[in-house]
Amino acid sequence: MKESSSLRIIIFMRKGNTKRTTKSTIKPWNAHSVHDNISWVYLSKRDKDYDAIDVERTMKAIRDKRIKSLRIPICGTIGTVMGMAIATYACTLPNIKRIYICDDKEYSEIAAECSKKAGIPLITKDPKSLIPYEVLRTLGKHKVVFATFDNIFKYILFWEDDLRKHKIRPNRPLNRIEYQRTLHPYDKNYQYTAEWISDDEVVIR
């Protein structure tokens, strides 16, 4: 496979003690170490080490029966289109029980910065205009959740609670943020409100 000097795909896959497949000098969207979740992250970066096989690796990884959920951020770059393609495929997999399409404002800013440095124009200022909502809603009914948030910690709490609510991860140990919530039950930093706009779209505050 020929190399390209304009793009790089960065994927974070966590299965047991699996390490990152690639490294980046820019800290991307936070992916936590869990046994049953995969987070697919894209950043554009001027780098001759671009390897399109990473997309194929992700497609293979989400077919693993141990993987139960998938998280994909939207960012207004070409990465959004690729992420939506992966999410659409994941809708057809019986092992994937929940797919979170995450509108993370902080990540969007980072992706835009990387695209600018790489000389790649943003596709749109409104990432949601690129998402095939109806396609994902039809294929991923009861699986897909479109989540919008400004605070990553509050989103992680929602994400963990949602997985437990649907008995996808009922008996897993508490992660660090969940544990802090048990220690500080009245601390607003560890509380959130989930406003469901529709059956599959939620705003985390």
pLDDT in tens, 148-182: 999 999 999 999 999 999 999 888 888 888 999 99
- Asked whether the predicted pLDDT for residue 113 surpasses 60, the reply is yes
pLDDT on residue 30: 33
Q: What is the mean pLDDT of residues 56-71?
A: 90
Q: In whole angstroms, give the CA distance from residue 96 to residue 80.
A: 20
pLDDT on residue 10: 37
pLDDT on residue 12: 37
Q: In whole angstroms, give the CA distance from residue 125 to residue 114.
A: 15
pTM over 0.85: no
State the amino acid at position 138 in one-letter form: T
Q: What is the mean pLDDT of residues 127-144?
A: 87
Q: What is the mean pLDDT of residues 31-60?
A: 65
Percent of the chain with pLDDT over 90: 38
pLDDT on residue 157: 94
Contacts 24+ apart (CB under 8 A), 21-25: 21/54, 21/57, 22/49, 22/51, 22/54
pLDDT on residue 98: 96
DSSP calls for the chain:
----SS--EEEEEESTTPPPSS--SS--S-----SSEEEEEE-----TT--THHHHHHHHHTTSTT--EEEEE--SSHHHHHHHHHHHHHHT-TT--EEEEEEEHHHHHHHHHHHHHTT---S-S-GGGGS-HHHHHHHTTTTEEEEEES-HHHHHHHHHHHHHHTTSSTTPPP-HHHHHHHH-TT-GGG---EEESSSSEEEE-
pLDDT on residue 48: 45
pLDDT classification of 26: cutoffs 50, 70, 90:
very low
pLDDT classification of 102: cutoffs 50, 70, 90:
very high
The more confident residue out of 21 and 150 is 150
